[in-house]
C-alpha cells in the first residue's frame, strides 16, 4: 500500500475538500441503490459509493484471489473473515484505481460509482454479540455522583478493570432509523409503587464501537498486544438510554429495558488501519493495572466527536464536543479483559466504548450529564429547552480525525425519537 | 394430531418404558452421525434419532408442503421460522408413522432411524440473543441474604418486574462440551487490590430456557396472552458461574466475565405444546403486578429437575431436586416484559429462567446456596467434599414431566470442568 503519510494522495474523482471520506479512509458499508435495492458491499469515497460487486465484475479486481461473492452478501461478515491480508490488498488496489493518472475505473465509473444520494445504507454486519463498556472515567464519575455517592463516585472496581456488560444485538439499527419512545416501569422517588408509562428521561449516549474482525474459539485469550489483529474497524454508536426505566430496573443485574429498545450505529466501518496517523498516548492509569491489562505503545486515538440535537422544523444545536482519546481504558485492554476468561468472539461482534465524556462540561456525552439530571436545561434554537429528549428530536453524532492533510471521518449516526405508541394489548 | 391424553399411544418401535423421549415428546435437535457427520435436523424417539432429511427423501413427508432443505441446515432456525402450523403437521405425521400398525417408516427404518449412540449432538439453534432472567424468589432471596442485606434480601424492584439481563450468546455450548476453569480478577475481602487467578468459586446454576419461535420487528410488544405463540420449546440450561469473579465485577452493570466463559444447554428442544398436560397454577403474586404483566390461566409447568455432580472416576451424587413450577415469574410474563419497550426478538433467541430454587434446602439450584457460600460442604461418594466445583467434576442436570402414562423429558445437560489453562501471553 502507498505510504499515506509521505505526501498528499490525489484522486481523479471530484470529492469535497473537507470530506470525511477521503482517499485515506475508504470505509466499508452495505448499501442498496435506487435502481438495484439488493443489499451489497460498498466502499465510500467522497459522495460516492464504490459498488464492489460491480467493480469485481468489471474485471478491475482480477489480480486479487478471493471469491467475489463476499461482496454480494447482505452483511460484511464473510468479507471480514477473509482476513487483514486480503483487506490490505483490496484497499491498495482501490487506492491505485482512484489515484490521479489511473484510468481503469475512470473509464467505467458510470456503473461502479453510485452517488450517495441514490444509495440506502443498511446495517454493515450481522452482529453476533454486542458488549458495552463503561470506559470513560469522567462519565462513570458523573453518573456515580448523581445516582450513588458523590464522595465515592467511582466504584472500587472501576480502575482495576474495564467494566462492561452484554447488550442487545437485535435492536442495533443503522443511522437514520427512527424509533418510538419506550414504555416501561418507572418508580418516582416519592411513591411506593412503580408506574407504567412512556419514558420521561430519554437520553443519548455518545460512544464509539469496534467491530470484531477475527473469530476465536472458546477458551482462547487475546492479549493486549494481539488485540489490534482482532479489530476490523470502528463506527459511531448512540446507546439510547431511558434513564427512568434504567434506574428502577438495573440493580443488581444491570441495564436491560432501559437500553435494549434501540442502539444506533453509523453505516460506514472505518478500518482500524486508517486511524494509524491519529494514535495518541492513553491517560496514565493509576493504580497500576494487573499484568494482563498492561500494554505498550499508543493505543488511544485522537478522534473529534460531537453531538447535535435537532428539534422538528428547527436548526441543529451542537450540545457536546468530545474526543475518543479521553477513554481511560483502550480497545486493546477492553478486548484482553473480555477474553481473559476464555470468552470467545466472532466476526461482526460489536464492542462499544461507553459514553465518552471529557473533563469540561461541554464534553459530557449524554443529556444526563449535560443537564445534570435536568437541573440545567439546554436552550434550543427554537426557544424551547431540553432536560431530556423530546418527541421528534433527532440526535446526530459526528466524528473525524484530522492531521495535516489527512482527514478520516465517520460521517454521522442519526436517529429520530417518535412519540410513544398507544399502549394496546393489555389483558382484560 | 391425535388427542394425546385420551389413551396411551403405542409405537411399533422398541423404546424403553421410562424414556424421556416418548411418543408424546418428539423433541428437535441437530445431529451428525458416525457415517455422515453433516449437521442436520432430527427428532428423538426412545434411543433413536429420526433423520428428518432421510425421512423426507424417502418420500414419507410428501403430504407436507414446505421446502425440506430446512432439515439440511446446521441449525433449526429456518425450520422453526416455518411456524407452529407446519410444526404441528410434521409432528402429527411423525406420530402417525410411529404408531403401532403403521408400516411406512417401519419398512425403511434402517436408513432413517439412527441409534443415539451413533449420533453426535450439536447446538440446535443459531442463537441471536441470550437473555437470563432471575425469576425464582427463593434464589433471589438466598443470594440477597448472602451478598447484600439479610433483612432486606429481595430488592425493591424484584416483585414488580421479572429482573433480567443480557448474557453472552457466543459461549453457549451444547451438552457434553468441557471447558477450562476461567481466570479472572478476584478481590479477597481482606485485601485492597484484586488478584489475577483461576476462579476458586466455580458454580453451576440450574435453569431452564425457552427458544423464541417467531420473530418480531423492532417496536412490537408481545402480550402475556400472545406469548406462547412466540415460544418454540424448552431446554435445560446450566448457567455456569464464577462467583468470585462475578462478585468483584458486577456492580453497577451486572455479571460479565463471571458468566460468559460458558453456558450449557441440553441438545433436544422440547416443543412447548408437549408440555400441555403439565400446566399448573403459578405462585400467587403479591403485590399485584402492573396490568401488562397480568395473565390468565395456568402458565407454570410441573417439571421435575435434578442436578448431579460426578467427580472423576467416581459415582454421581444428586445434590439438588427442584421443579420448574417454583418460578415466581412465568415465561409469558418474562416475554411480555422483555418486549414491552419495543425490544425485538428473533427465532433462535434464548431466554433462560434464572436459577430455579425451591423452599427446601435440597431444592436450591446452585452450590452457592446448597453449601451456603461454602459454610456447609457437600460430602461426595469418594470421601471428598465440595464447597464449589473441583477440576474434572462433571455436572449433570436432568428434567422430566410425568402425568399418568405420559412422560416428557429433557434428557440431560452435562459439562465437565477442566483445569485452568496455564496463563500465557502476558505482555513483558
| Number of other CB atoms surrounding residue A213 within 10 Å | 25
Instruction: Tell me the average pLDDT across A372-392.
Output: 98
pLDDT at A422: 83
Tens-place pLDDT, residues A84-95:
999 999 999 999
CB contact under 8 A, A182 and B248: no
Tens-place pLDDT, residues B320-337:
999 999 999 999 999 999
Binding-site residue ranges of A for Mg(2+): 239, 259, 263
Tens-place pLDDT, residues B157-179:
999 999 999 999 999 999 999 99
Q: Which of A253, A259, A424 should one mutate to test binding to chain B, selecting the residue with the greatest count of B CBs within 10 A?
A: A253
Beta strands in B143-299 (DSSP E): 164-167, 172-174, 179-180, 183-186, 195-198, 202-203, 206-212, 231-238, 241-242, 263-265, 270-271, 279-280
CB contact under 8 A, B427 and A163: no
Q: What rounded mean pLDDT belongs to chain A?
A: 96
Nearest C-alpha in A relative to B195: A290
CB contact under 8 A, B253 and A164: yes
Tens-place pLDDT, residues A227-267:
999 999 999 999 999 999 999 999 999 999 999 999 999 99
Grid cell of A23 as nine digits: 482517499
Q: Nearest CA of chain A to the CA of B224: how many Å?
A: 7
pLDDT band at A6 (very low <50, low <70, confident <90, very high): low
Q: Which residues of A are catalytic?
A: 139
Task: Enumerate residues 341 to 360 of chain A having a beta carbon within 8 A of any beta carbon in chain B.
Answer: 341-346, 349
Instruction: Tell me the average pLDDT across A169-191.
Output: 97
Bridge-based pairing of strands A406-418 and B183-186 is unpaired
Tens-place pLDDT, residues A394-424:
999 999 999 999 999 999 999 999 999 987 6
pLDDT at B6: 59
Task: Enumerate residues 119 to 158 of chain B having a beta carbon within 8 A of any beta carbon in chain A.
Answer: 128-129, 132, 134, 148, 155-157
* % of chain A exceeding 70 in pLDDT: 97
User: By mean pLDDT, which of A40-44, A52-56, B65-69 is the weakest?
Assistant: B65-69
CB contact under 8 A, B160 and A196: no
Q: What rounded mean pLDDT belongs to chain B?
A: 96
Nearest C-alpha in A relative to B348: A170
Nearest C-alpha in A relative to B215: A170
Q: Report how far residue B301's alpha carbon sits from residue B281's, in angstroms, rounded to the nearest whole number.
A: 8
Secondary structure, 3-state, A168-202 = CCCCEEECCCCEECCEEEECCCCCCCCEEEECCCE
Grid cell of B204 as nine digits: 453451576
CB contact under 8 A, B219 and A421: yes
pLDDT at residue B79 tops 90: yes
Contacts of A255 in chain B (CB under 8 A): 165, 253-254
Q: Tell which residue, B353, B75, B369, B48, has the closest CA to residue B203.
A: B369
Contacts of B187 in chain A (CB under 8 A): 156-157, 160
Residue in A156, A163, A260 nearest the CB of B253: A163
Concatenated DSSP letters for A141-160? HHHHHHHS-GGG-S-TTTTT
User: Which residue among the candidates B85, B87, B122, B139 is catalytic per the annotation?
Assistant: B139
- Tell me the three state secondary structure of residue A404: coil
Tens-place pLDDT, residues B117-129:
999 999 999 999 9
CB contact under 8 A, B253 and A180: no
pLDDT at B148: 86
CATH H-level, domain A28-121: superfamily: Fumarylacetoacetase, N-terminal domain (2.30.30.230)
pLDDT band at A428 (very low <50, low <70, confident <90, very high): very low
Look-up of cell digits 426478538? B345
Number of Cβ pairs < 8 A linking chain A and chain B = 225
- Check whether B205 is labelled as a binding-site residue: yes
pLDDT band at B147 (very low <50, low <70, confident <90, very high): confident
ipTM of the complex as predicted: 0.96
* % of chain B exceeding 70 in pLDDT: 97
Q: Which of A256, A282, A299, A415 should one mutate to test binding to chain B, selecting the residue with the greatest count of B CBs within 10 A?
A: A256
Task: Enumerate residues 170 to 199 of chain B having a beta carbon within 8 A of any beta carbon in chain A.
Answer: 170-171, 173, 179-180, 182-185, 187, 193-194, 196
Task: Enumerate residues 234 to 253 of chain A having a beta carbon within 8 A of any beta carbon in chain B.
Answer: 242, 245, 248-253
Tens-place pLDDT, residues A120-138:
999 999 999 999 999 999 9
- Respond yes or no: is residue B139 known to be catalytic: yes
The residues with which B126 forms a beta bridge, in sequence order, are none
pLDDT at B423: 73
CB contact under 8 A, A255 and B254: yes
pLDDT at residue B18 tops 80: yes
Residue in B218, B250, B343 nearest the CB of A252: B250
Residue in B156, B343, B423 nearest the CB of A260: B343
pLDDT band at B113 (very low <50, low <70, confident <90, very high): very high
Tens-place pLDDT, residues A328-343:
999 999 999 999 999 9
Q: Quick one: how far is CA B267 from the chain centroid?
A: 9
Bridge-based pairing of strands B202-203 and A119-122 is unpaired
| Number of other CB atoms surrounding residue B92 within 10 Å | 14
Grid cell of A388 as nine digits: 431530556
CB contact under 8 A, A179 and B292: no
Q: Report how far residue A8's alpha carbon sits from residue B226's, in angstroms, rounded to the nearest whole number.
A: 61
Distances (CA, A) of B83 to A254, B27, B87, B90, B347: 33, 16, 6, 11, 10
CB contact under 8 A, A254 and B257: no
Binding-site residue ranges of A for substrate: 134, 148, 246, 250, 355
pLDDT at A136: 97
pLDDT at A5: 52
Contacts of B425 in chain A (CB under 8 A): 221, 223, 226, 292
Nearest C-alpha in B relative to A183: B341
CATH match for B130-418 among 3.50.50.60, 3.90.850.10, 3.40.50.720, 3.40.50.80: 3.90.850.10
Task: Enumerate residues 281 to 300 of chain B having a beta carbon within 8 A of any beta carbon in chain A.
Answer: 287, 290-292, 294-296
Contacts for B111 with CB less than 8 Å, ≥ 6 apart: B51, B54, B58
pLDDT at residue A20 tops 50: yes
Q: Could you say which DSSP state residue B263 is in?
A: E
Grid cell of B23 as nine digits: 411418543
pLDDT band at B398 (very low <50, low <70, confident <90, very high): very high
Residue in B134, B261, B427 nearest the CB of A253: B134
CB contact under 8 A, A223 and B426: yes
Q: Nearest CA of chain B to the CA of A170: how many Å?
A: 6
Nearest C-alpha in A relative to B249: A157
Task: Enumerate residues 211 to 230 of chain A having a beta carbon within 8 A of any beta carbon in chain B.
Answer: 218-219, 221, 223-226
Q: Nearest CA of chain B to the CA of A38: how many Å?
A: 20
Domain boundaries, chain A: 28-121, 130-418
CB contact under 8 A, A218 and B262: yes
Beta strands in B274-359 (DSSP E): 279-280, 300-301, 304-310, 316-323, 350-352
Amino acid at each position: 500500500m502507498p505510504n499515506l503519510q509521505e505526501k498528499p494522495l490525489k484522486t481523479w474523482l471530484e470529492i469535497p475538500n473537507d470530506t470525511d471520506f477521503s482517499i485515506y479512509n475508504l470505509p466499508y458499508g452495505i448499501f442498496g441503490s435506487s435502481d438495484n435495492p439488493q443489499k451489497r458491499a460498498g466502499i465510500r469515497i467522497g459522495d460516492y459509493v464504490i459498488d464492489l460487486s460491480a467493480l469485481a465484475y468489471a474485471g478491475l479486481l482480477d489480480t486479487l484471489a478471493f471469491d467475489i461473492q463476499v461482496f454480494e452478501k447482505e452483511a460484511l461478515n464473510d468479507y471480514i473473515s477473509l482476513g487483514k491480508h486480503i483487506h490490505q490488498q483490496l484497499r491498495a488496489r482501490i487506492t491505485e484505481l482512484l489515484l490521479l493518472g489511473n484510468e481503469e475505473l475512470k473509464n467505467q465509473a458510470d456503473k461502479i460509482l453510485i452517488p450517495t444520494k441514490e444509495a440506502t445504507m443498511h446495517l454493515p454486519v450481522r452482529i453476533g454479540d454486542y458488549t458495552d463498556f463503561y470506559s470513560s472515567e469522567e462519565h462513570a464519575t458523573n453518573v456515580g455522583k448523581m445516582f450513588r455517592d458523590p464522595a465515592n463516585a467511582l466504584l472500587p472496581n472501576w480502575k482495576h478493570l474495564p467494566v462492561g456488560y452484554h447488550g442487545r444485538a437485535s435492536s442495533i439499527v443503522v443511522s437514520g432509523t427512527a424509533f418510538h419512545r419506550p414504555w416501561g416501569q418507572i418508580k418516582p422517588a416519592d411513591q411506593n409503587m412503580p408506574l407504567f408509562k412512556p419514558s420521561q428521561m430519554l437520553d443519548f449516549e455518545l460512544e464509539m464501537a469496534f467491530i470484531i474482525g477475527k473469530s476465536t474459539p472458546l477458551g482462547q485469550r487475546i492479549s493486549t498486544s494481539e488485540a489490534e489483529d482482532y479489530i476490523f474497524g470502528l463506527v459511531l454508536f448512540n446507546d439510547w438510554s431511558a434513564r427512568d426505566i434504567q434506574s428502577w430496573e438495573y440493580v443488581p443485574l444491570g441495564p436491560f429495558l432501559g437500553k435494549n429498545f434501540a442502539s444506533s450505529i453509523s453505516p460506514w466501518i472505518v478500518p482500524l488501519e486508517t486511524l494509524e496517523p491519529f494514535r495518541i498516548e492513553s491517560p496514565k492509569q493509576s493504580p497500576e493495572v494487573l499484568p494482563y491489562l498492561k500494554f505498550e505503545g499508543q493505543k488511544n486515538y485522537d478522534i473529534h466527536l460531537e453531538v447535535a440535537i435537532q428539534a422538528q422544523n428547527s436548526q441543529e444545536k451542537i450540545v457536546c464536543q468530545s474526543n475518543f482519546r479521553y477513554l481511560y481504558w483502550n480497545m486493546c485492554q477492553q478486548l484482553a479483559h473480555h477474553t481473559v476468561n476464555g470468552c470467545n468472539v466472532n466476526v461482526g461482534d460489536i464492542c462499544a466504548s461507553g459514553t465518552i465524556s471529557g473533563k469540561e462540561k461541554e464534553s459530557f456525552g449524554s443529556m444526563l450529564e449535560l443537564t445534570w439530571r435536568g437541573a440545567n436545561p439546554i436552550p434550543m434554537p427554537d426557544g424551547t429547552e431540553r432536560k431530556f429528549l423530546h418527541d421528534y428530536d433527532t440526535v446526530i453524532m459526528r466524528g473525524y480525525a484530522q492531521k495535516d492533510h489527512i482527514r478520516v471521518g465517520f460521517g454521522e449516526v442519526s436517529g429520530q425519537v417518535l412519540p410513544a405508541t398507544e399502549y394496546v394489548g393489555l389483558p382484560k
